[in-house]
Structure 1
Amino acid sequence: MLVGNRGEIAVRIVRTCRDLGIESVVAHSTADRGSLAVELADRAVHIGPAPARRSYTNIPALLYACAKTGADAVHPGCGFLSEDPLFAAACGEVGITFVGPSPKHIALMGNKVDARAAMRAGGVPVLPASDGPVDGAYEARQAAGDIGYPLIVKAVAGGGGRGMRVVHRPEDLVPAYEDTRATARTLFQDDRVYLERYVPRGRHIEVQVLADSFGNVIDLGERDCTVQRRHQKLVEESPAPSLGDDLRRRLRRVAVAGAESIGYVSAGTFEFIVTDDGEPYFIEMNTRLQVEHPITEERTGLDLVEWMIRIARGEALPFGPGDVEPSGHAVEVRINAEDAGRDWAGSTGRVRGLRLPAGPGIRVDSHLYDGYEVPPFYDSLLAKIIATGPTREVALRRMDRALREFRCDGVVTNAAFHRTLLRDPGFASGDYRLGIAESLCSPQP
């Protein structure tokens, strides 16, 4: 198995490969030559210099690495090429198993306009939006008049919280439209955008599904991902607090129906925005492993990486709807190399005095070690701390203990922000909304 990724997710995949008796090969850039994933893997192969476009997103380099090492499967992790249909198709063309969905499904759900149409056809509720991509400022104004304000300008090929701009006033529409197109052209090589109704104070709820190639689809419960900054998730928890049981069941049922309607296979995540009046609307589907997958694993006892591999090699799910019911409560915080008190400015440096938390109910997924040099080339994620307990109260207390224990000198992290969040009455109550992270600006250690 070639691991086509880096950081904590590469370490995570290597460990499951070892549990399954599968030889792991980590593909790494020059900057990651001394990474923990490289040290833990059975083998490692250099695929290029530090910039991702010349290493982790370089399809020929990854295919050559498979040929060089004899790898007959690739797990893409999350980010980089994990949702690139061209990479998935290229793997299939040369006889390499891509651990994930088909190129067809990656392409379908990667195009936000096509994804909305597919979900609407499958009975999944979607937000009011433009009828496809908008071409030019005049068409944007026409569509905005039908949708109403506030609205959001989204890249058709966007994802991961990138390629979108919120617009509150008509006079800001055209600049936001042009800026989003330029951003989309740079990030996704596709400058098409569409307009969609914006829900300013909603909740971001997602549902994890697993589907095999025999038509079996199950859901593994929902996760609340409402704590975000700049559309990037910071904290996730499951089950979603202050969510009525009827709505919870509806979201889970709709996610399964959506996956069944398109014949989806592999792990996938349906993301919804839930309004204050309890109406859920489809945002997007992530056709890959989610960063926040550990909280689902902790509540179900399943290894999602393992089941992605088993499904990819043709195994059927041995359980059906209702057989896997999540229990307890789990919370995950993302420890990023960023300074929340300085407008989330990124940080680099050499890690010193590292102390990772442990003890009852604590799991840490990380690639850090003393002396590790945090590079400036990639995502800022350093570690994920996961706290579990029989109740939300217990899980949050354990998370507070874990954050008190965590130490990482030499690089600025957002750990202080997370401790401030835990003390916030709104978050503690479980009844919080999008924008909560921004309201807690300049947290003190």
Structure 2
Amino acid sequence: MFSKILIANRGEIAVRIIKTCRRMGIATVVVYSEADADSLAVEMADETVFIGEAPAAQSYLVADKIVAAVRETGAEAVHPGFGFLSENAGFARRLAEEGIVFIGPNPRAIEAMGDKIESKKFAQAAGVSTVPGHVGEIDDTAHAIRISEEIGYPVMIKASAGGGGKGIRVAWNRQDVEEGFPAVKAEAKASFGDDRIFIEKFIESPRHIEIQVLGDKHGHVVHLFERECSIQRRNQKVIEEAPSPLLDTDTRAAMGEQAVRLAQAVDYDSAGTVEFVAGQDKSFFFLEMNTRLQVEHPVTELITGVDLVEQMIRSAYGEPLPFAQQELTINGWAIESRIYAEDPYRGFLPSIGRLVRYDPPQEGDVHGAKVRNDAGVREGDEISMYYDPMISKLSTWAPERLAAIDAMGRALEDFHIEGLGQNIPFLAAVMDQERFRSGQLSTNYIKDEFPDGFHGTAPTAFQRDVMAAVACAMHRTITRRAAPELLRQDWIVVEAGERRPVRVTNGDAGFTIAFVDEDRTLRLDGIEWRPGKPTFSGVLDGRAFTVQVKPAAEGFMIRHRAAQAHVLVLTPRSAELHEKLPPKTAADTSKMVLSPMPGLVVTLDVTLGQEVRAGEPVAVIEAMKMQNIIRAERDGTVKAVNAKAGDSVAADEVLVEFA
């Protein structure tokens, strides 16, 4: 077995690979850019090598620097993780020429399947069902429009070398192609160093299902069943699960057989994923093959018990697969939620900054379920604009699907992050939705369920009780410390303008809260909170919960899953006076175009005095390797332009003002 492996990647996947290498007794080397000098992966690795500036094109994408690091440290093999050079056949061939083992498929398989255009041609020749489209490169925007109209809208514009949801746009009309084609080319060039584009028919209301395959160098290939990755936004997977709630035994076997046949045709000898688009009727079409480890591989590991990183290493070393297809079975159900540094309340735009607080849930066996958190960060680390905005991948396993979903909901409650926007409330909202719980999924899920964007959810009856009980408990604790003479039993809880008279009394290690007008009494026990702590855990009438809490100007801001409220605990007289306060009015920003996120101004498309119509592009802002077109929300004449191409801007910075 290898004695030392170099990991040509960063973040959570580098940490993930280190953990398996440690268990196998293999030393690790991590390369790092300037932005990752203080990262968790650098701290955990046995050796580290600095490879350049923060932009990936100057560090993680430079093959010469990776090879030099291998030579410097004496590593025998390179694990590329995912992204960066993981699907670069030239890099794999270069390593082979240098006598270095590439922990991934052979270069011929990467060339056949890793290129999205060539994989379509190969799949068609192999008799695999594929999505209708133009299997060839697109020359320019005019060519893209012509091809799109021949196929028929909607179409999907995709980078040939793409992956991870980058370099993809859906075009519903000619204007979408005119704007989307150059944007996809730019993203593809920046992210993959390859700006070739192809176009295929976009299948409406589809499901995204992928088959995990695993091969060795002795001609053996197996599949490890499927993952469903239909919950996506901007073609980036957000929630994945294994197995799929759509498939029956026969469809699962058919998809697995096609995936294995395709992998065998290219002598596939590592971990890889064959992706399909599936209809609600269980019809399916080959999309592409990712010739690398997938971000969502933990759910497959949880239902099969197979460590995919270990099997990749053993295959690269030349060992045969330790199991046959008939020995692999599905055990239970697993859910993965991607925790992103993004603001779901602002269209899921990237949010960069420092993790002022980072407190993930407890891992391991938790109340009959398993919790796993794959992360490459610690409290105090910074999420920069140079790389993917993922913070961690939270996974849960249970014997049944609903139990796995419930375990995920509780784990998300226990996950606390401060310092930047993050999507935990959105993920929690999905876990609570009946449509998700029933398995009625599609890649349109987010657009269907949140057509006007995500704005949180209204509190349920249980959540209103939790918020009232927590506010009373916190208020009583703080009052007892600061001014015990003001303690009393009768209070008014105010939330969303509704007044609820309560009577709060102490008990053994807890509180009793009586809702006077409702003739109900609840018991709050198991309290884990102290003043200043940002989470409050407890058990309300036998049901465990965790809420995020922070003091407001008066009262408390309390969030349970996706429901948030400002809760006041007042004396009856204070509550009476409070009703007489005038409401606050928000500042008028209707004549301003604000940057919705921190990032780099790629273009500023308007000039002083220009007449602009609602919907017209005003600027393009780039962050996390994604370009975002900022459009005018109203007609107007440009009165001031406050930025230019190349400027770094903050969230809510005024880019343009209208007269």
| Bucket of the pairwise TM-score, normalised by the shorter protein | over 0.9
Aligned to 2:376: 367
Determine which of 312, 317, 321 is the counterpart of 1:317: 321
Aligned to 1:93: 97
2-side partners of 1:9 and 1:117: how far apart?
Answer: 31
2-side partners of 1:401 and 1:234: how far apart?
Answer: 18
Deviation sequence 1:310-350 (CA, Å, 0-9, x none): 00000001211221112100000000111111111222222
- Amino acid of the residue matched to residue 106 of structure 2? S
2-side partners of 1:75 and 1:136: how far apart?
Answer: 36
User: Greater strand percent: which structure?
Assistant: 2
Q: Give the C-alpha shift of residue 151 in structure 1.
A: 1.6
Aligned to 2:206: 202
2-side partners of 1:183 and 1:56: how far apart?
Answer: 17
Aligned to 2:298: 294
Q: Give the C-alpha shift of residue 138 in structure 1.
A: 6.0
Aligned to 1:260: 264
Matches within 5 A, 1:122-141: 122-136=126-140, 139-140=143-144
Q: Give the C-alpha shift of residue 83 in structure 1.
A: 1.1
- Higher alpha-carbon deviation: 304-313 or 179-188: 179-188
Matched pairs, number? 445
Which secondary structure state, in structure 1, belongs to the residue aligned with residue 157 of structure 2? strand
Deviation sequence 1:142-189 (CA, Å, 0-9, x none): 544542222222233333222232222356444444544454445444
User: Greater helix percent: which structure?
Assistant: 1
Q: Is the 8 A contact 1:300 1:326 kept in 2?
A: yes
Q: Does 1:331 align with 2:330?
A: no
Q: Is the 8 A contact 2:33 2:52 kept in 1?
A: yes
Which secondary structure state, in structure 1, belongs to the residue aligned with residue 254 of structure 2? helix
Matches within 5 A, 1:186-225: 186-225=190-229
Which secondary structure state, in structure 1, belongs to the residue aligned with residue 27 of structure 2? coil
Bigger Rg, structure 1 or 2: 2
Q: Does 1:431 align with 2:440?
A: yes
2-side partners of 1:328 and 1:313: how far apart?
Answer: 31
Q: Does 1:48 align with 2:69?
A: no
1-side partners of 2:59 and 2:11: how far apart?
Answer: 14
Aligned to 2:549: none
Structure 2 portions without partners, runs of 5+: 457-561, 563-659
Aligned to 2:70: 66
**TM-score (ref. length: structure 2):** 0.65
2-side partners of 1:234 and 1:40: how far apart?
Answer: 27
Q: Is the 8 A contact 1:335 1:415 kept in 2?
A: yes
Determine which of 431, 442, 445 is the counterpart of 2:454: 442
- Cα RMSD between the aligned structures? 1.8
**CA shift in 2, pair 1:384/1:59, >3 Å:** same
- Amino acid of the residue matched to residue 333 of structure 1? S
Q: Give the C-alpha shift of residue 215 in structure 1.
A: 0.8
2-side partners of 1:150 and 1:166: how far apart?
Answer: 7
- Amino acid of the residue matched to residue 79 of structure 2? H
2-side partners of 1:174 and 1:277: how far apart?
Answer: 34
Q: Highest relative contact order (Cα 8 Å, sep 6+), 1 or 2?
A: 1
- Higher alpha-carbon deviation: 53-62 or 174-183: 174-183
**CA shift in 2, pair 1:263/1:176, >3 Å:** same
Determine which of 30, 34, 43 is the counterpart of 2:34: 30
Q: Does 1:397 align with 2:409?
A: no
2-side partners of 1:179 and 1:356: how far apart?
Answer: 36
Q: Give the C-alpha shift of residue 28 in structure 1.
A: 1.1
**CA shift in 2, pair 1:135/1:3, >3 Å:** closer
Aligned to 2:524: none
Determine which of 283, 301, 320 is the counterpart of 2:287: 283
Aligned to 2:237: 233
**CA shift in 2, pair 1:346/1:388, >3 Å:** same
2-side partners of 1:48 and 1:182: how far apart?
Answer: 23
**TM-score (ref. length: structure 1):** 0.95
- Higher alpha-carbon deviation: 159-168 or 11-20: 159-168
Q: Give the C-alpha shift of residue 366 in structure 1.
A: 0.9
**CA shift in 2, pair 1:135/1:411, >3 Å:** closer
1-side partners of 2:30 and 2:188: how far apart?
Answer: 30
Deviation sequence 1:192-229 (CA, Å, 0-9, x none): 32221111210000000001111101000100000111
- Amino acid of the residue matched to residue 321 of structure 1? Q
Which secondary structure state, in structure 2, belongs to the residue aligned with residue 88 of structure 1? helix
- Higher alpha-carbon deviation: 221-230 or 238-247: 238-247
2-side partners of 1:291 and 1:430: how far apart?
Answer: 22
Aligned to 2:354: 350
Structure 1 portions without partners, runs of 5+: none
- Amino acid of the residue matched to residue 416 of structure 1? P
Determine which of 94, 114, 118 is the counterpart of 1:114: 118
Q: Give the C-alpha shift of residue 81 in structure 1.
A: 1.1
Which secondary structure state, in structure 2, belongs to the residue aligned with residue 24 of structure 1? strand
2-side partners of 1:326 and 1:304: how far apart?
Answer: 15
**CA shift in 2, pair 1:155/1:354, >3 Å:** closer
Q: Is the 8 A contact 1:110 1:158 kept in 2?
A: no
Q: Give the C-alpha shift of residue 411 in structure 1.
A: 2.2
- Amino acid of the residue matched to residue 123 of structure 1? G
**CA shift in 2, pair 1:185/1:293, >3 Å:** closer
Aligned to 1:379: 388
Aligned to 1:155: 159
Deviation sequence 1:57-95 (CA, Å, 0-9, x none): 121111111111111111111111111122111111111
- Amino acid of the residue matched to residue 121 of structure 1? A
